[in-house]
Amino acid sequence: MFPKKPPTDINKNDFLHNLDEAREARRREKQMQQAAIIIQKTVRGYLIRKKYRDYRKNELKQIFLGFTDPNPQKYPSLQLASTMFPHLQHFLLYYNRMKVKNNSTDLQQLLLGVLNYISTSLIIDDIKYSHLAAFFNKEVNAQWMKFNQDFMIVILKVIETTELTTNDDIKLIISSLNYLYLITDCQSWKALQKNMNELLLKTMLALNRSYLIHLGQHNLLKTLKISMIRCMHRRLESSIIHNIATLAFKLLLNSDFNRTHLILFSQTILIIPTFITMCHESSHKLFQMICQKDLFNHLICIYSIKEAFVSLSENIDIIELCYMLGNIVALASIDLNQLEAMKQPFIHCLFNILDVCRQRQTSNEQSGKQTKMTSVWHPIIGHVRGKTSGMTVSNQEIVQRVIIQYKFLWSKSFVNMLFESIPTTSSGNQSLSTAKKETNIIRAKFEKLFHSKTTTDKLTTDELTQSICRITTFYQKLIQILTELRLQILCALSLQDSLISSLWQFLNNIGSTCGLKELLKIYETNKENYHPIFDLLQLFCNLCSYLATVLDEEEMYREQKYLTLDSWSQFCLFLNQFVYRLIRIEFERTITTSPKLKLENNQLYKTLHQLLILLHERNSRKSFTPDSHWLIREVKSSSSFMADLERDDSCALYLLEQIPHILTFKDRVKILQMFIEHDKEKECTEVSPLRHHSRNYYEIHRTNLFGDAFRALQNASSTIWKNTIRISFINQQGLAEAGIDQNGIFKEFIQEVTRQAFDPAFNLFKVTENRTLYPSPISDRTENYLYLFNFIGKILGKAVYEQIVLDIELAPFFLRHFISRKNLNYSCFDDLMFLDRDLYNNLNFIKHYDGDVSSLTLTYSIDEDVLGEMVTYDIIPCGRHINVTNDDKIVYIHRMSVYRTYTRIKNQIKMFSEGFKTLMKPEWINMFSVPELQQLISGESSDIDLEDLKSNIVYQGGYHRTHPVIKWLWQTLEQDFSREERALFLRFVTSSSRAPLLGFRSLNPPFTIRCLESSEHEEEGDSLGRILRNMVTINRTSSERLPSSSTCFNLLKLPNYKTRRILLDKLRYAIKANAGFELS
């Protein structure tokens, strides 16, 4: 056999494997060597480039950082432009690379140096050192053009993105704008001025034009707007306005007022607040030139077309639109001759802007309510909901300048111009030329309507009537949009010659009672409830609201300025009937939406209703109408109205809510008592008798009456307050006083608590000069003062709830805040006469001051002494920085009055009112005027009506109407007692010194007089023998016995005295003893 061969296959595999590994190792080593070479190459390249960049950076710093010095006189000497241009190219390359990686301060400083260098070289005399030198070098001309275009784009981006948070940012923006201004203005290139010829000038102008077009294509105007707004926030507008205006106007001029550029100009530059005014005041030459080339006409031609303006303003919010309106008005006011020629298109323009503003306002309110978006307050248009651009400029000076722009719209010259624009009808007796010669243009136009009776058809078709209505529509829209300027607008319009009297004559000319039937007919037949005549009516109502607010009693009642008292009275009659009929009409119509909701959204109704309530409030303070003037006959004579209320008829309830004065005061008191009874029934069913008794019984120490009451009741629920509360007094000896509380003790408790609470010595309330009470401004120094005011409000509410009248008089301006009347601009100026006479006299002096009020250096602020230190309070936002002028002195007086009568004590009023409304629902309180609410609290302020009392007396124990003692009693009350003693007598018997609101017939239990013999106990009943003896005056009472009473039962226990003199002495002693409930 052959020998066995060795395993060569295994050795072969290992050999091959080893070869593969060696080959792979060599490959990896080669790759690593190649990678090392690449890495080394990359690192060497990076280091070389870094070294080169650092070299270039240092070189650029060395060349350009010298131009960052704040003082241009310290700039380094300029080098030849041929050597500097390559450095500029290197810088642009370096900047673009570094900008992506790191926007450092060093890079910003370097950019600032480059900008200052180019700007300086552009205005140098020697062309060799000017940045323009490269333009004349054919070899680098194209590069120079390319550099400038690229560099301008860089600068636009810098302007757009720099937030102006540091001083370096401000310097950079100013230099950037200066560069753009110089690079596009060949007139500033001094190096070319010496050798300037026509060809060179055309070439340079073409170069400028190409740069402007290039900038315009890259959002120049938008960038300028952003920069200007940021500068205005930092109050830097004066340093950049010249350059921004020049760039913007040059773009317009070079485009030959191209429509596209005009629209872009409107969407960007014209929404900058007061831009036109700043240009005009700075006497900007280019602005004057562009005005001469009819910028105003070009803009108005676009704005006067509604579709064009709606499209233009699509992406402009309401705040920006208001700034645009200001600028357009400022532009119009510069040249009145030009405006005269374009007044009709300008009026169309104003209407278009106001219409779009109103649409934005409405849509923002709706979207804001749906998304629960918070509102932003703007000092011109008030609270704004929805998205805005954030252009709520905080610079108060700028806001005031915007307002000054607007003032032209209600200036005398513009108002007259509007009325001059009214076409003259052929039926008129005067020509247009004659009307212009009239000293009073407004009266001249209205008199054309007074020659013939105005009918309903004429109101709808007459051209002259429609033109006048259109003017009133304009001002009505203006008032609705510029809500914070409402008073200024109305003040200025009220001063226009004969405007108010002419509007009043116009309404009277429509028909009887100011055209009540005619206007109601138009309202009923118009499905939209809109007619231009209603704008005239609303404007007149707004003017009357203003007058009713600002006229003091001297002006309204004695001087009878603007309107006579008869005119006020007649207009009140119209308003009362018209508002009543409007409510009836809306509730009678078959509509899908709620009549109440529709009326709340009806601007006509809101305006008329507001004035009606305001005039009724004014009349309630000092009457200028007959007693029954405010009553509606069909409601007063209709017994079904009360039935409608009892069955919760929606129309009756809404009438009671909106115009409660159409019912008599006594009727409303009855309705209030009905509501309270229903409320008591509801509350009583919610509390078990056992729980009610255990929680509503309180012991009160007379020595600490208010403190015990506060601790016991401050945390009580409204249910406890509305149910019966029982009181047991603890006397000074610590013993419970005799007597069971059947409301008499509780009434005394209420009266004693209020007497202490309202005592000025308690430091919660102060007294005016006419002895009325209001919360003390320094009550905040009392511990838990807000909780105390809330508690006192509940006590007062409980008194009214239980028909307990109190002997306290509250200041009208304090009571007024109990009544929830929204948007009622009631003036408290006359209230100041008794609150702060010095301030009243000072404000009255300002009101009638004939000179320039601004010379008095008044601001919307007040200085007050707080713990020995003078503190300044603003009466409007930023008020200490706003000067008072003749145009707004009425607003100042109104604001100051509000501050003194409300703002200082608003927290106390709020807590007191909340406590009061815990028991008295707001809708109940709203049924009454301020004097009527005071009457609810304190009852009849007049002397006791003894005849009414006699007619409603119940006699017991043998007394009767003709009994001698009873006759003596009435003689004593009538002849011997003073008014104060009669009040004490009434308090002695009923625990209240005031007569019931609805007379003694409504007293429950009835006022009772019982005969008391000397030998009987008070608990003894009426025996037959006793009655007979007393009837024939046998067994008269001892003269030692005093009269007594049971206030719980309104019972007077009167002894059978022998003489009238004894009765007088004993009764007078008893009522003045002031011994409390224990006397009986």
Contact 604, 538 (CB under 8 A): yes
38, burial (CB in 10 Å: exposed 0-12, middle 13-18, buried 19+): exposed
- Answer yes or no: do 356 and 459 share one domain: no
Instruction: Encode pLDDT of 627-678 as tens digits.
Output: 889 998 888 655 778 888 888 888 889 999 999 999 999 889 999 999 999 9
CA gap 279, 500 in Å, rounded: 37
Compute the average pLDDT of residues 953-973.
Answer: 91
**Residue 827 domain-assigned (yes or no):** no
pLDDT at residue 333 in the model: 93
- Answer yes or no: do 923 and 976 share one domain: no
The domain total for the chain is 6
Q: What CATH number has the domain bearing residue 745?
A: 3.90.1750.10
**Residue 172 domain-assigned (yes or no):** yes
% pLDDT > 70, the chain: 87
Instruction: Encode pLDDT of 441-469 as tens digits.
Output: 776 767 665 555 555 566 666 778 888 88
- Answer yes or no: do 793 and 759 share one domain: yes
- Answer yes or no: do 779 and 800 share one domain: yes
Find, among 788, 792, 786, 783, the residue nearest to 810 by Cα: 792
Least confident window among 93-97, 244-248, 559-563: 93-97
Mean residue pLDDT of the chain comes to 84
Instruction: Encode pLDDT of 670-720 as tens digits.
Output: 999 999 999 988 877 655 554 444 557 888 898 899 999 999 998 888 889
- Answer yes or no: do 980 and 1069 share one domain: yes
**Residue 588 domain-assigned (yes or no):** no
pLDDT at residue 365 in the model: 67
Distances in Å between the alpha carbon of 800 and those of 398, 797, 910, 938, 996?
52, 5, 19, 9, 12
**Residue 299 domain-assigned (yes or no):** yes
pLDDT at residue 77 in the model: 87
Contact 624, 558 (CB under 8 A): no
- Answer yes or no: do 290 and 313 share one domain: yes
Question: Which tokens go with 665?
Answer: 């005061």
**Residue 371 domain-assigned (yes or no):** yes
pLDDT at residue 638 in the model: 59
Least confident window among 248-252, 266-270, 379-383: 379-383
Find, among 717, 723, 713, the residue nearest to 684 by Cα: 723
Q: What does the DSSP assignment read for 262-280?
A: HHHHHHHGGGSTTHHHHHH
pLDDT at residue 101 in the model: 59
* Measured torsion, CA atoms of residues 186, 191, 195, 200, in degrees rounded to the nearest 10: -30
% pLDDT > 90, the chain: 35
CA gap 497, 386 in Å, rounded: 40
Find, among 899, 901, 909, 906, the residue nearest to 863 by Cα: 899
Residue 1021 has pLDDT above 80, yes or no: no
pLDDT at residue 152 in the model: 94
Catalytic (active site) residue 1048: yes
Contact 443, 497 (CB under 8 A): yes
Instruction: Encode pLDDT of 492-536 as tens digits.
Output: 898 887 889 889 988 888 888 888 888 988 888 877 767 889 999
Query: pLDDT band at residue 435, thresholds of 50, 70 and 90?
Result: very low
Residue 474 has pLDDT above 90, yes or no: yes
Residue 1013 has pLDDT above 70, yes or no: no
Residue 326 has pLDDT above 80, yes or no: yes
CA gap 741, 727 in Å, rounded: 6
Residue 1015 has pLDDT above 50, yes or no: no
pLDDT at residue 370 in the model: 56
- Answer yes or no: do 934 and 950 share one domain: no
- Answer yes or no: do 855 and 798 share one domain: no
* H-state helical runs in 920-1034: 922-925, 930-938, 946-951, 964-971, 979-990, 1024-1031
Phi, psi of 512 (to 5 degrees): -65, 150
**Residue 675 domain-assigned (yes or no):** no
**Residue 233 domain-assigned (yes or no):** no
Q: What does the DSSP assignment read for 115-132?
A: HHHHHHHHT-S-GGGSGG
Question: Side chain identity at 420, as an amino acid letter?
Answer: E
**What predicted TM-score, i.e. pTM, was given to this entire model?**
0.81
Q: Which of 218, 245, 268 marks a domain boundary? A: 218
Contacts 24+ apart (CB under 8 A), 651-654: 651/583, 651/584, 651/587, 651/595, 654/583, 654/587, 654/595, 654/596, 654/599
CA gap 298, 313 in Å, rounded: 16
- Answer yes or no: do 934 and 960 share one domain: no
Residues across the chain = 1080
Find, among 664, 661, 659, the residue nearest to 580 by Cα: 659
Instruction: Encode pLDDT of 94-115 as tens digits.
Output: 888 877 656 678 888 999 999 9
CA gap 515, 509 in Å, rounded: 7
Biggest CA-to-CA distance, the chain? 178
Instruction: Encode pLDDT of 155-179 as tens digits.
Output: 999 999 988 888 888 999 999 999 9
CA gap 569, 556 in Å, rounded: 12
- Answer yes or no: do 35 and 175 share one domain: yes
406 CB-near residues (< 8 Å, 6+ apart): 325, 326, 329, 380, 482, 485
Strand-pair partners of 736: 730
Residue 372 has pLDDT above 80, yes or no: no
Query: pLDDT band at residue 348, thresholds of 50, 70 and 90?
Result: very high
pLDDT at residue 553 in the model: 85
- Answer yes or no: do 174 and 313 share one domain: no
Q: Can you say whether residue 913 is alpha, beta or left, with left for phi > 0 and alpha for psi between -120 and 50 degrees?
A: alpha
Q: Which of 379, 410, 441 marks a domain boundary? A: 410
Radius of gyration for the chain, computed over Cα atoms and rounded to the nearest angstrom? 43
Most confident of 1-5, 135-139, 875-879, 915-919: 915-919
Q: What CATH number has the domain bearing residue 974?
A: 3.30.2410.10
Q: Coil, strand, or helix at residue 697? A: strand
Percentages helix, strand, coil for the chain, rounded to the nearest 5? 65, 5, 30
Residue range of the domain that includes 813:
689-820+913-938
**Residue 926 domain-assigned (yes or no):** yes
Compute the average pLDDT of residues 757-786.
Answer: 91
Question: Which tokens go with 345?
Answer: 């298109």
Q: Which of 543, 562, 579 marks a domain boundary? A: 579
Q: What does the DSSP assignment read for 848-880?
A: T--S-GGGG--BSEEEEEETTEEEEEESSTTGG
Compute the average pLDDT of residues 881-892.
Answer: 85
- Answer yes or no: do 25 and 167 share one domain: yes
Contact 835, 768 (CB under 8 A): yes
pLDDT at residue 425 in the model: 47
Find, among 167, 161, 256, 159, the residue nearest to 212 by Cα: 256
